[in-house]
């Protein structure tokens, strides 16, 4: 199994370490470098990594632990996706950019690939688990909107580890890992405030008839 992880920060770190430890070969994509303000929540980095590319540094952490990973210091864009992720069987987004999340989900749907979209902010977050035959990310959220980032609104350090762990578990489930729970595909899991409860709100939703992403699904996956 080979997977792309988009984002090498607070969510990308636990995602990459978990999937790498499970034997998934990784392509890690992130345009940023490590900054001091990252260190409280991006535990894959240390002060010695300041100024280094996040993607390649995280890939090194995975390989140091016996996994296989390659990092690319660039922004994941739909027009380059076939070159970067074309041989992957799974894609997971842990970025904090709404436009990138939609691009990842749309690309996965159009190619019939399973995908996971994760987000975290302040004291909570959410994880959407998508497979080709179910309603997609765009069915639910429709269009990108301006949203606060971790840098602007803040996030409690342990939150990204918790949300990243949930996302990794579902990624392993749809990657076919025998020990993972494969229930709940095509579903959004919302953790409103992990200080209060670790139980998510489970949001199930149907396909939107005029969804532009679903219209691009491979013909054999159209009901």
**Residues 135 and 186 sit within 8 Å (Cβ to Cβ):** yes
Chain-centroid distance of CA 113 in Å reads: 14
CATH topology of domain 2-221: Rossmann fold (3.40.50)
Instruction: Retrieve residue 194's tokens.
Output: 């992990």
Distance CA 142, CA 144 (A): 7
> Is residue 12 within 8 Å of 117, Cβ to Cβ?
no
Q: What are residue 28's DSSP bridge partners?
A: 5, 71
Q: Output the tens digit of pLDDT for each of the chain's 223 residues.
A: 999 999 999 999 999 999 999 999 999 999 999 999 999 899 999 999 999 999 999 999 999 999 999 999 999 999 999 999 999 999 999 998 999 999 999 999 999 999 999 999 999 999 999 987 889 999 999 999 876 666 666 788 899 999 999 999 999 988 764 334 445 668 999 999 999 999 999 999 999 999 999 999 887 665 5
Q: Which is it for strands 90-93 and 115-121: parallel, antiparallel or unpaired?
A: parallel
Nearest to 58 by CA among 33, 95, 22: 33
Predicted local confidence at residue 180, as pLDDT: 42
Cα distances (Å, whole numbers) of residue 213 to 28, 112, 152, 177: 24, 11, 30, 27
Write down the domain spans for the chain: 2-221
- Around Cβ 162, how many Cβ atoms within 10 Å? 17
Cα–Cα distance for residue pair 114/37, rounded to 1 Å = 33
Read off the pTM: 0.91
At residue 178, the pLDDT reads 38
What is the H or E stretch that residue 54 is in?
helix 54-64
């Amino acid at each position: 199994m080979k997977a792309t992880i988009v984002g090498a920060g607070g969510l990308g770190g636990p995602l990459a370490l978990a999937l790498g430890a499970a034997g998934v070969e990784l392509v890690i994509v992130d345009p940023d470098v490590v900054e001091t303000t990252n260190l409280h929540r991006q535990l894959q980095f240390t002060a010695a990594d300041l100024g280094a590319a996040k993607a390649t540094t995280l890939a090194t952490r995975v390989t140091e632990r016996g996994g296989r990973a390659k990092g690319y210091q660039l922004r994941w864009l739909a027009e380059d996706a076939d070159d970067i992720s074309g041989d992957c069987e799974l894609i997971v987004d842990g970025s904090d950019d709404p436009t990138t999340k939609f691009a990842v989900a749309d690309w996965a749907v159009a190619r019939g690939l399973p995908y996971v979209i994760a987000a975290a902010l302040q004291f909570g977050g959410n994880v959407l688990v998508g497979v080709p035959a179910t309603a997609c990310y765009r069915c639910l959220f429709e269009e990108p909107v301006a949203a606060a980032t971790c840098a602007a609104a803040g996030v409690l350090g342990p939150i990204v580890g918790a949300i990243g762990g949930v996302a990794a578990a579902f990624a392993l489930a749809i990657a076919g890992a025998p020990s993972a729970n494969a229930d709940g595909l095509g579903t959004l899991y919302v953790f409103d405030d992990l200080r209060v409860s670790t139980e998510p709100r489970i949001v199930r939703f149907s396909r939107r008839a005029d969804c532009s992403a679903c219209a691009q699904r491979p013909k054999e996956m159209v009901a």
